[in-house]
Amino acid sequence: MYEMPFGLVFRKAVLWHEGKEHEFQNLQDIRRDPDAFRWTFQGSTKDGCRLEGAIDGTGRSIHRLPYLKTDCAGSFEVTNNSLARASLRLERPGKPSEVLETSTGAVLEMVGR
């Protein structure tokens, strides 16, 4: 999810699974917690797939960096963990629900705390 100038917000995820691309539009937050550095969300595709994801950004590789604003009028803090844990529950029409998990293969980045 990216929030850009002029009120543009992009909420999209693409999952490649079993050789097929699944594009999830209009992701919705279930819970976004910058203090605990966790994010859960859900989304769906046009062909009826549903996705629920949970990303846990806590852990030893978490770091915080100041980013300079594009107009150079100051900076803001970004928290990042490139070794986050993630769990995705994928539901596809006519197939059993699947859970996909990684203990160190996800990236979570949030502005603020």
4-53 confidence digits (pLDDT tens): 778 777 778 899 999 999 999 878 999 999 889 999 999 999 999 999 99
In a domain, 8, yes or no: no
Report how far residue 47's alpha carbon sits from residue 105's, in angstroms, rounded to the nearest whole number.
27
Whether the pTM exceeds 0.85: the reply is no
In a domain, 52, yes or no: yes
Query: Residue 57's closest CA among 28, 31, 86?
Result: 86
DSSP letter for 5, please: G
Number of domain units in the chain: 1
In the block, residue with structure tokens 């100051």:
74
* pLDDT tens, position by position, 59-105: 888 999 998 888 889 998 899 999 999 999 999 999 999 999 999 88
Beta bridge partners of 39: 32, 55
Instruction: Find the domain containing 87 and state its range.
Output: 29-111
Tokens for 107, please give them: 């990236």
Run of H or E including 47: none
